[in-house]
Every structure is written in C-alpha cells, then in structure tokens.
Structure 1
C-alpha cells in the first residue's frame, strides 16, 4: 500500500511540474501575441496616416519609373 501511495505522489509531483512548465509557456506565448498585435496596430496607424497625407496605400499602386 505504501509503495502505491509513493508512486501516486511521484506522479502528482511530475504533473504539477508539467503544469507549471505549460503555464509558463502559455504566458510567454501570450506576451508574444500581445507584442505582435501592438506592432500590427502601429503599422495600421502608419498606413492610415500615410493614406490621409495623400500617399498611395500600397506599393502596387506606384508605377515604377521605367514605365
């Protein structure tokens, strides 16, 4: 009976370690997502500002000089 209890305690301890590691990975991923979203918002604001200044919205709209 005691060995069974010890095995269960070991399994619980390993699961707790795994859960902590997964939680830490999730926190890092969320921080990266937040950073990427902020960068995307910044690029969107820059594009909106350039469109309001009369510049073209895309490089595809610009005609190369050799045409």
Structure 2
C-alpha cells in the first residue's frame, strides 16, 4: 500500500507543476494579447497606406498605361 508520505510528495509535485503551468499560461496570454494589438495596428496602417496609394494613383498626371510619346 502507498504510504501517506509518498502521496504527499506526489501532491506537492503536482501542485508545483500546476503553479508553473498557470504562470506559463498567463505569460503566453499576455504575449498573445500584445501581438494581437501590434497586428491590429499594422493592419490599420496597411489599410491606410493602401487608400493613400489608390488616391495617389487616381490623382497622378496621365494614365499609367499610355505609351511614351515617341510611339
């Protein structure tokens, strides 16, 4: 039969692992949240730059597909 000391040691090991896992999960959660915020900011920046590029292309003098004047 397993004695009380062995069971107590096993419980201590499991509690230590659980505490470590909880800390790891919290750290990962913070990291993912920070990355999500950065991705969101970059996505908005890319959308803004795309709009600016479309405006610049629309306001550019002459059509981009016109052949040069020597043709």
Normalized against structure 1, the TM-score is what?
A: 0.77
Q: Deviations over 1:21-63 (max 9, x none)?
A: 001100000110011111100100000111111258xxxxxxx
* Bigger Rg over Cα: 2
> Which ranges of structure 1 fall in alignment gaps of 5 or more residues?
57-67
Q: Report what 2:59 is aligned to.
A: 53
Normalized against structure 2, the TM-score is what?
A: 0.73
Number of aligned residue pairs: give it.
56
> Which ranges of structure 2 fall in alignment gaps of 5 or more residues?
1-6, 63-71
Matched, 1:40 2:46: yes
Q: Compare relative contact order (CA 8 Å, sep 6+) and give the higher one, 1 or 2.
A: 1
